[in-house]
Every structure is written in structure tokens, then in C-alpha cells.
Amino acid sequence: MRVLLVSLSSERTGAITPLGIAYVAAAARTAGHEVRLLDLCFENDAEQVLRQRILAWMPHVIGISVRNLDNALSLAPVSYVPKLRAVVRTCRSSTDAPIVLGGSGFSVMPDETLRACDATLGVVGEGEDAFPRLLSRLEAGSDVRSVPGLAWLQDDLYHQNPPVRIPDLDRK
């Protein structure tokens, strides 16, 4: 499958390499999927760049990594949820591909985040194992609801499977 992984982080002060999404990308590639990364951190018009990338490549699945939900500054708080909502809206207006949320920020409040941006699927916890499993099931057209760590909304009810913890990220 063609998979577009999008790093949502837009914090330019003390910008951090999107390492988590790189691990997930490597795991998806190892599982046989074609993966491209898009880091929106330094894009001036993130939605336009995202739309162009989607239309040029037509991914089968889009994964969005949510590292933080806000800037964690109590004296000058900034929520990143509006940007996430805009990115999901851009994806939906550009393709019918499933949109899967993940990342540490998403994992902190998965139910609320799915609802806030009108998404239906997410991976809670470490995605290195769960995301390739999800991709395989989507590719086969089989039921995804037993994927470890999967979170989803169905009939406005939140569901989540227990995540799998990876004891050794350096395993081969």
C-alpha cells in the first residue's frame, strides 16, 4: 500500500526531529508498504502542501502523527487541535483514503482527539507494531477492530483495544 505519514508538529522554537513517525515509517516499510513522510513543521502553507502531495501521489492510507496537543505553556497556551482539524479536513477533501491518527499527543486523549477533528481511527501507544498490522488488514479488506492499540468511533461510541508495549525498539 502507498502510505503517507504526516508529522503535524508546527512548533518551530526548539523544533524536534519527528523520531516517532520515523520509527513507524520504518516498520511499515519493513512490512512491505511504500511510505512517504511529510513534515509540516516548516511549511508556510501546510494545507496546500499536503493537498498537493496527496493529489500527486494518491496514498491508500494517511497517518497523522500528533506529538503534542498544545504548547504546554500555562502563561501563553496555544492549542494545536485547530491545526489538526484543518489537516484532517484537507485530507478528507483530497482523498477517500482512511486517515489514522497516532503519536504521543493523540495517545494522551484519543477519544477527545478523534471527536475534535472528526476522525474515526487512531493508534494509541507505540505504532511500530500496530500500524503495520492495521495496514495489512486494510489492504486485505478485513476487519481492523482487533488491532492492538486501535481506537475508533462507531455510532458515536468510543472503542479502544489495549495497546501492545514494545520492550525493545531495536529488535530486528
Average pLDDT over every residue of 100-112: 96
The per-residue pLDDT for range 26-55, each reduced to its tens digit, is 999 999 999 999 999 888 899 999 999 999
pLDDT value at residue 123: 98
Q: What gap in Å lies between CA 29 and CA 32, rounded to an integer?
A: 5
Average pLDDT over every residue of 53-66: 97
168 or 129: whose pLDDT is higher?
129
Model confidence at 113, pLDDT cuts 50, 70, 90, reads: very high
Average pLDDT over every residue of 62-82: 89
pLDDT value at residue 161: 96
- Name the 3-class secondary structure at 104: helix
pLDDT value at residue 141: 96
128 or 169: whose pLDDT is higher?
128
Report the predicted TM-score, pTM, of the whole model to 2 decimal places.
Answer: 0.92
Bridging pattern class, strands 2-7 and 99-102: unpaired
pLDDT value at residue 164: 81
Q: What gap in Å lies between CA 129 and CA 149, rounded to an integer?
A: 9
- Cβ contact 143:137 at 8 Å: yes
Model confidence at 73, pLDDT cuts 50, 70, 90, reads: confident
